[in-house]
Amino acid sequence: MNSHQEALGNQFQGRIIGPDDNDYDDVRQIWNAMIDKRPAVIAQCSNASDVLVALNYAKTNNLDITVRGAGHNIAGNAICDSGLMIDLSSMKNVTVNPGTKRALVQPGATLADIDAATQQHGLATPVGINSTTGISGLTLGGGFGWLTRKYGMTIDNLVSAQVVTADGRQLSASASENSDLFWAIRGGGGNFGIVTEFEFQLHSVGPEVLAGLIVFPFEQAKQVLEQYRTFTQTAPADLNVWVVMRQAPPLPFLPEAVHGKEVIVLAIFYEGDLAVGESLIDPLRQFGTPHGEHIGAQPYTAWQQAFDPLLTEGMRNYWKSHNFTELHYEALDLLLHYAGNLPSPHCEIFIGQLAGAANQVASDAMAYSSRDAKFVLNVHARWETPAEDEVAISWARDFFKATTPYASAGAYVNFMTEEEGGRVTAAYDSNYQRLVELKRQYDPDNLFHHNQNIKP
């Protein structure tokens, strides 16, 4: 037991883990294998009081602080060398009130935890598309997924939060209480405190939805993208269609000869009357001659986990992202060029459709400002070995640079691997100066700086 463990153990109800513990390496490991750092101590919290104890200890001993929810964030800010990791991953409770359609969610919960609890009552809130993602980072950066067109972003459905601030206070943040802090945490990342509980608005969803994939040959990608561009301009908010360009995984409905070949995939989600959904989806089948499709009624929770096998932990990851108010015709050839030259079989390019409820919120209503974004382009560079680092990272950066002229203002901080030379400022656009002022108010010493940092 090291000195940190001895000192913290007296007041701490959770578990203190140090470099000499057998499971230290397992506990410190986060989703992106490119991040390999060794904290001096890991404080695995069991409640909000533990968070406060760990925070005060780090301040007293001048230790750098990082905060881990599920450890999924691409940038790896959950961990640093020689600091104290406040690990919230054991705090996973989700309490649903079906009468008020509200859920209280602890910060270590994953999307799978939330979906499982809410779907017992036929309810859901908009979250991401990978069930191993943690709710904390997702929410604090914005949060979007299959339900966003209909019900808005994750932050649009946040009702309140319990926050431990840098000065050791435990505050409630909502529209009526500490409203400036509530404004800041909805998109401002982990800059303003440590959230120990989220309260979300829920909506009636499922339990079955109409969802699945249509997989087209890559040779037909240009015509698919052109028709997708037109189709999405009038598609109702109940229907969400994303584009994925990658090498085909060994899906059972695809001919074996297609496995490992470049393809363009329409990922389809419809929440509503199944017969109506079928009629809306049918035109998508005419975009080309598919290799195959798998679409049907399935549990919402199953669709929420459908992409998990493509986003497993332990890979090396580097992502780049753009917002778009429209899919410019001139940008389609760039998409096809880079999708046709993937540096690894694990890489992919996806276009997520956001247009709908998320656009109905004012850009200054909360910290997240990109309310004109109707699509998000994410470049997933994923690979296995350090030897591939240079070529994979260069591919992502080159693609990002080439498509920049067609992108709209703002950025999605959850997809930012690094600070990217002032892009944090650009991400918040006209909201940035207010965020700086609130950072000065709530964290003047920049205690919480392992994030996409807003400097006080």
In tens, the pLDDT along 44-57 reads 999 999 999 999 99
Place of tokens 């997702």: 138
Domain with CATH 3.30.43.10 in the chain: 11-87
Report the DSSP pairing between strands 102-105 and 94-97.
Answer: antiparallel
* Locus of tokens 């050791």: 168
List residues bridging with 296 in a β-sheet. 211
Give the pLDDT score at 138. Answer: 93
Q: Which CATH number fits domain 11-87: 3.10.50.40, 3.40.30.10, 3.30.43.10, 3.40.50.1820?
A: 3.30.43.10
Give the least confident one: 109-118, 216-225, 330-339. 330-339
Per-residue pLDDT at 1 exceeds 60: no
What confidence tens digit (pLDDT) does each residue in 146-164 have? 999 999 999 999 999 999 9
Say if domain 94-205 classifies as CATH 1.10.10.350: no
List the CATH code of the domain at 208-415: 3.40.462.20
Q: pLDDT grade, residue 74 (50/70/90)? A: confident
The percent of residues in the chain predicted with pLDDT above 70, rounded, is 97
Residue-averaged pLDDT of the chain = 92
pLDDT of amino acid 416:
73
- As a whole number, mean pLDDT of residues 447-451 equals 91
What is the average pLDDT across 278-302?
96
8 A C-beta contact, residue 433 and residue 367: no
Please confirm whether the linkage preceding 207 is cis (ω < 30° from 0): yes
- Using alpha carbons, select from 270, 208, 274, 277 the residue that is nearest to residue 241: 270
Evaluate if residue 419 carries a pLDDT over 60: no
pLDDT band of residue 70 (cuts 50, 70, 90) is confident
Q: Is the pLDDT of residue 173 over 90?
A: yes
Q: How far apart are CA 100 and CA 410, in angstroms?
A: 34
Q: Give whichever of 31-40, 193-202, 380-389, 417-426 has the largest mean pLDDT.
A: 193-202
Where is average pLDDT lowest: 122-131, 241-250, 297-306, 418-427? 418-427
pLDDT of residue 421: 58
Mean pLDDT over residues 217-226, rounded?
96
What residues contact residue 257 under an 8 Å CB cut-off, 6+ apart? none
Q: Provide the pLDDT for residue 302.
A: 95
What is the number of other CB atoms lying within 10 angstroms of the CB of residue 282?
A: 9
For residue 108, is pLDDT > 90? Answer: yes
Indicate if the pLDDT at residue 75 is higher than 80: no
Q: Give the pLDDT band (50/70/90) at residue 420.
A: low
Which neighbouring-strand residues pair with 317? Answer: 382
How much of the chain, in percent, has pLDDT values that exceed 90? 77
Taken as a whole, the chain contains a residue count of: 456
Start-end ranges of CATH 3.30.465.10 in the chain?
A: 94-205
- Are the CB atoms for 41 and 57 separated by under 8 Å? no
Mean pLDDT of 196-206: 96
- What is residue 402's predicted lDDT score, i.e. its pLDDT? 93
Report the alpha-carbon distance of residue 133 to residue 73 in Å, rounded: 8
Q: Which of 414, 325, 409 is nearest to 374 (CA)?
A: 325
Give the model's pLDDT for residue 5.
65
Tokens 């989220």 belong to 198
| Mean pLDDT along residues 282-308 | 95
Q: What is the DSSP letter of 152?
A: -
Cβ-Cβ contacts under 8 Å for 433 (sequence gap 6 or more) = none
